[in-house]
Amino acid sequence: MTLDTVKHATETPDVEQPWAELGLKKDEYERIREILGRRPTGAELAMYSVMWSEHCSYKSSKVHLKQFGEKAPENDALLVGIGENAGVVDVGQGYAVTFKVESHNHPSYIEPYQGAATGVGGIVRDILAMGARPVAVVDPLRFGAADHPDTKRVLPGVVAGIGGYGNCLGLPNIGGEVVFDSCYQGNPLVNAGCIGVMRHEDIHLAKASGPGNKVILYGARTGGDGIGGVSVLASETFDDTKPTKRPAVQVGDPFQEKLLIECTLEIFKEKLVAGIQDLGGAGLSCATSELASAGTGGMRVELETVPLRDASLSPEEILMSESQERMCAIVEPQHVDRFMEICEKWDVIATVIGEVTDGERLEIFWHGEQIVDVPPGTVAHEGPTYHRPYARPAWQDALQADDANKLPRPQSSEELREQVLKLVAHPNQASKAWITDQYDRFVQGNTVLAQPEDSGMIRIDADTNLGVAIATDGNGRYAKLDPYTGAQLALAESYRNVAASGAKPLAISDCLNFGSPEDPAVMWQFAEATRGLADGCQKLGTPVTGGNVSLYNQTGEVAIHPTPVVAVLGVIDDVNRRTPIAFAEEGQLLYLLGDTREEFGGSAWSEVVHGHLGGLPPAVDLDREKLLGEILIAASRDGMIDAAHDLSDGGLIQAVTESCLRGNNGARLIVPDGLDAFTFLFSESAGRAVVAVPRSEELRFTDMCGARGLPATRIGVIDGNTIDIQGQFTIPLDELRHAHEATIPGLLA
């Protein structure tokens, strides 16, 4: 077969090329020809196809994502924002923290273990590439119906993949969530996040500058796994008639990644790199084009020097491979020998594959023949921009008119008690310990809060006890009812969870999971959710530092619920002042903060008791959320509360149940004046939390709330071994514990 060189491509303009099979549209292919002034070579076509994919280029979403920059609030803590591998924030004392959430949804459905494992590996390398030591991971997950046979295939594999990879790296898994809904049956959402810590001066960026500097590929050898992962697998809808695409799923080796981490951190310590990029989605195509595009010159690569696991790989396959555990560094010539010594010490393969040039082109050669000659920016950053049509779906009004507030409510105390037990035993509200116990949450010894706490928290300085907290939240049911409000509710809940633990929210990362952008209804959901999130972040003062968009999450014509997942990062000066959720001290007083209204649209109660989704989600008051956060942080810092738990899915009774079981203490609750028992227990009004106040602090705490204008209602006391709703019913903790803890093992063990 004739090698498809640049010269050959110029001489054979009419050769048929498989642009459609690689996920390109006809007009995109024509645009590539226009850019190059000729047809692309096979290698160039491979590069454009992966880099212009939905997953890499954000071609359907970037017109909406630009709001995150346009509406970004002023925030002195933000050091690196959108556009790099991950955002970076200043957390004080000379420390910077980088964090990000990404998706590995489609691969995890096809091959649950490897899909989830490599999702963890990829996000860890994004954090590493910023110059930081990864210190913790989180995993927001969504699966189909808990009792569906395929969930028993997907969920255990995903959990084993996350645990297996993260545990081998020695990274504690400190947070996340698990949600079940039939809408995710063919499209589970496997979102993974990572936090890394560094000093300010250690921040690294992905750029290739300095003619003569060497391009070094180091880490694992390149294999045939992951080819077409982002251009095909992650950028189209699933169809039950299509074959399984196993070759497109990457294969991970956590032990190789651990060596890569330690090797890279030592290289950073000796300041040996001028630029660095991990190889994740789109592999070498991404690393070379992005490094060259962000730099001040061009790049020349000798592709045959790439170490291979499979000698039969073609140049196109080498460029498209998404083999894991690989990094690409730009190194000044005088540092190359020392760079190689460190790699050899850590048993990491390292190869000079090219150098930075003083030109403006990315040039790739194969055994002396030129197979790529492109302007790197057109590959990395100038992909197509689509203004997809979007329209509010015709069914939206009817969905919102189907008011959950009008559903039949319990007519007796006995029925109310039965519904409480049914709620806490539902897979979405039940204990996830069967899942989280498979993760090492305390490795490295710096975890101070982890599941099932409101947020995970890590100590980052042993001398001062400076720490950071992270929470991830999202509610697809709310977003289906109203995507604008649903996105803000996700932001508000994550913000509230961080504040409830005593940390000050600083910034966010997001993972926006939606159906096909070619459906105007889905694009309307996306546009509304993005607008809601941008407006919400502006109001709360929490800039978006980066994140991920995952589209085409649908099977045939059936899309998932719009599911914006929001990760909020916060800082706490002293982790010893953290606030857990456990009701640990008998006699302490329980206060409900915020206003409770009849708000049941999208609620856990409406789902569990009636199998219903309709109406409007709870209203959002971001000024109230900010005030609540300030009160929770101040009360934690000043020792006024010993426990706090945000109120969200399942309302007050769910939060109280979790706090009682966590502390192994019961509670006596009194329904406040003006509320009926049902609304008191099950409402999902936002902007609320329940706190445990020592009696000695009651006056100080209530004075603070009164002075700041935050409603604080005394609703009971920590006492006994039951949850007693006075005048209604009593449930022993043992009965609650069985209901809460038996569900997931019963379904999945």
Give the pLDDT score at 238.
Answer: 46
Contacts with 6 (C-beta within 8 Å, 6 or more apart), sequence order: 41, 370, 371, 372, 373
- Give yes or no for residue 249 having a pLDDT over 90: no
> Could you write out the DSSP letters of every residue in 494-562?
HHHHHHHTTPEEEEEEEEEE-S-TTSHHHHHHHHHHHHHHHHHHHHHT--EEEEEEE---EETTEEPPP
Tell me: pLDDT of 29 over 80.
Answer: yes
Q: With beta carbons less than 8 A apart as the criterion, state whether 591 and 701 touch.
A: yes
Share of the chain above pLDDT 90, in %: 87
Q: Which CATH architecture has domain 1-67+205-387?
A: Alpha-Beta Complex (3.90)
Contacts of 158 (CB under 8 A, 6+ apart): 108, 112, 113, 115, 116, 141, 143, 188, 190
Per-residue pLDDT tens over the stretch 319-357: 999 999 999 999 999 999 999 999 999 999 999 999 999
Structure confidence at residue 293 as a pLDDT band (50, 70, 90): confident
pLDDT of 224 reads: 85
| CA atoms of 526 and 515, how far apart (whole Å) | 9
> Rounded to two decimals, what is the model's pTM?
0.95
Task: Return the percent helix, strand and coil in the chain, to nearest 5.
Answer: 40, 25, 40
Position 242 scores a pLDDT of 40
**Secondary structure element (H or E) that encloses residue 663, with its range:** helix 651-663
* AA identity, residue 415: E
Please, are residues 280 and 337 in contact by the beta-carbon 8 Å criterion? Answer: no
In angstroms, what CA-CA distances link 590 with 180, 442, 502, 698? 31, 30, 18, 10
Per-residue confidence (pLDDT) for residue 375, from 0 to 100:
94
Orientation angle between helical segments 413-425 and 733-741, nearest 10 degrees? 40
Instruction: Tell how strand 78-80 and strand 87-92 pair up.
Output: antiparallel
Active site annotation includes 55: yes
615 φ/ψ sector (left φ>0, alpha ψ -120 to 50, else beta): left
- Across-strand partners of 644? 691
Q: Which CATH class is domain 397-423+579-749?
A: alpha beta
DSSP string, 552-611: --EETTEEPPPEEEEEEEEEES-GGG---S---STTPEEEEES------TT-HHHHHHH-
**Phi and psi at residue 636, in whole multiples of 5°?**
-65, -50
User: Do the domains at 1-67+205-387 and 397-423+579-749 have one common CATH topology?
Assistant: yes
Could you tell me the two tokens for 73? 């609030």
Using the CB atoms, write b or e for 234-262: b if 16+ within 10 Å.
Answer: bbbbbeeeeeebeebbbbbbbebbbbbbe
Structure tokens at 218: 């180091």
- In this predicted structure, the answer to whether residue 237 has a pLDDT above a threshold of 60 is no
- Measured distance CA(161)–CA(153) in Å, rounded: 13
Confidence of residue 229 (pLDDT cuts 50, 70, 90): low
486 and 479 in contact (C-beta within 8 Å)?
yes
Q: Measure the CA–CA gap between 314 and 367, rounded to whole angstroms.
A: 12
**Residue pLDDT, tens place only, 128-175:** 999 999 999 999 999 999 999 999 999 999 999 999 999 999 999 999
Distance between CA atoms of residues 325 and 725, nearest Å = 54
Q: φ and ψ at 218, to 5 degrees?
A: -140, 155
H helices present in 295-357, as ranges: 315-320, 336-345
243 band by pLDDT with thresholds 50, 70 and 90 = very low
In tens, the pLDDT along 53-72 reads: 998 899 999 999 999 999 99
User: 61: Cβ–Cβ under 8 A, 6 or more apart, which residues?
Assistant: 512, 517, 526, 530, 549, 551
Cα separation, 107 vs 251, whole angstroms: 11
* C-alpha angle 698-702-707 in degrees, rounded to nearest 5: 150
- List the 544-550 sheet strands across, edge first: 447-449, 456-459, 467-473, 563-572, 504-513, 544-550
Task: Compute the C-alpha angle 32/35/37, nearest 5°.
Answer: 100
Give the pairing of strands 689-693 and 589-593.
antiparallel
CA distances from 456 to 62, 220, 386, 407, 595 (A): 31, 32, 38, 36, 26
- With cut-offs at 50, 70 and 90, classify the pLDDT of residue 453: very high
Tell me, what's the pLDDT at 1?
A: 60
Is-contact 339 263, C-beta < 8 A? no
- Does the active-site annotation cover 106? no
Give residue-wise pLDDT tens across range 74-126.
888 899 888 888 899 999 999 999 999 999 999 899 999 999 999 999 999 99
Reading across the β-sheet that carries 133-143, which strands appear in turn?
78-80, 87-92, 95-103, 189-199, 133-143, 173-180
Sign of CA dihedral 483, 485, 486, 487: positive
Contacts of 75 (CB under 8 A, 6+ apart): 506, 507, 541, 542, 543
Spell 512-542 as b/e; 16+ CB within 10 A means b.
bbbbbbebebbbbbbbbbbbbbbbbbbbbbb
* Mean pLDDT calculated for residue range 195-199: 96
Question: What number of residues does the chain have?
Answer: 749
Sign, CA dihedral 231-236-238-239, equals negative
Q: In 3D, which of 399, 407, 403 has the Cα closest to residue 610?
A: 407
| Confidence at 520, pLDDT banded by 50, 70, 90 | very high
Average pLDDT over residues 264-283: 92
Q: Check: CB of residue 123 under 8 Å from CB of residue 101.
A: yes
pLDDT band of 557, cuts 50, 70, 90: confident
The secondary element (H helix, E strand) that includes residue 214 is: strand 214-219
Indicate the pLDDT class of residue 507, thresholds 50, 70 and 90.
Answer: very high
Domain layout of the chain by residue ranges? 1-67+205-387, 397-423+579-749
- The yes-or-no verdict on residue 232 having pLDDT over 60 is no
Mean confidence (pLDDT) of the chain: 94
pLDDT digits (tens, 9 = 90+) for 654-672: 999 999 999 999 999 999 9
pLDDT for 245 equals 41
Six token digits for residue 155? 């969920």
Directed axis angle between helix 112-129 and helix 254-269, to 10°? 0
Query: What is the Cα–Cα distance from 150 to 140, expressed in whole angstroms?
Result: 19
pLDDT tens across 203-223, in order? 887 777 789 999 999 999 999
pLDDT tops 50 at residue 433: yes
Quick one: pLDDT band at residue 2, thresholds 50, 70, 90?
Answer: confident
Indicate which residue of 64, 104, 426, 561 is catalytic.
104
From the list 552, 518, 554, the residue with the least C-alpha distance to 184 is 554
- Smallest Cα–Cα separation from 496: which of 624, 375, 601? 624
Q: Model confidence over 721-735: pLDDT tens digits?
A: 999 999 999 999 999
d(CA 11, CA 624): 67
| Cβ-contact 511, 565 below 8 angstroms | yes
Element (H, E) at 354: strand 349-357
Q: Is the distance from CB of 107 to CB of 249 less than 8 angstroms?
A: yes
Which H or E run includes 729? Answer: strand 729-732
